[in-house]
Chain A
Amino acid sequence: MKFTFKAFLLAAAVAVSFSAGMTAPARAVLEVDVNKGVVEPLPIAITDFLSADGLGAEISGIVSANLQRSGLFAPIEKAAFIEKISNPDAAPRFEDWKVINAQALVTGRVTREADGRVRAEYRLWDTFAGQQLAGEQFFASQANVRRVAHIISDAIYERLTGERGYFDTRIVFIDESGPRNQRMKRLAIMDQDGANARFLSDGRSIALTPRFSPSRQEITYMSYEGGQPQVYLLQLETGQRELVGNFPGMTFAPRFSPDGQKVIMSLLRDDGNSNIYVLDLRSRATTRLTSSNAIDTSPSYSPDGSQIVFTSDRGGRTQIYVMNSDGSNQRRISFGDGTYSTPVWSPRGDLIAFTKQTGGEFQIGVMRTDGSGERILSSGFSQEGPTWAPNGRVLMFFRQAAGAPGPQLYSVDLTGRNEQPISSPNFASDPAWSPLLD
Chain B
Amino acid sequence: MNRQGQQETEREFVDLVKRYERVIYKVCSFYATEVSPMEDLYQEAVLNLWKAFPKFRGESQISTWIYRVTLNSCISDLRRNGKHVVRAPLEFAENIVFQPDTMETELRELYRLIRQLGKLERAIILLWLEDRPYQEIADITGLTVSNVGTRLKRTKEKLKSMSNQ
- Chains A and B form a bound pair: no
Interface residue ranges, B against A (CB under 8 Å): none
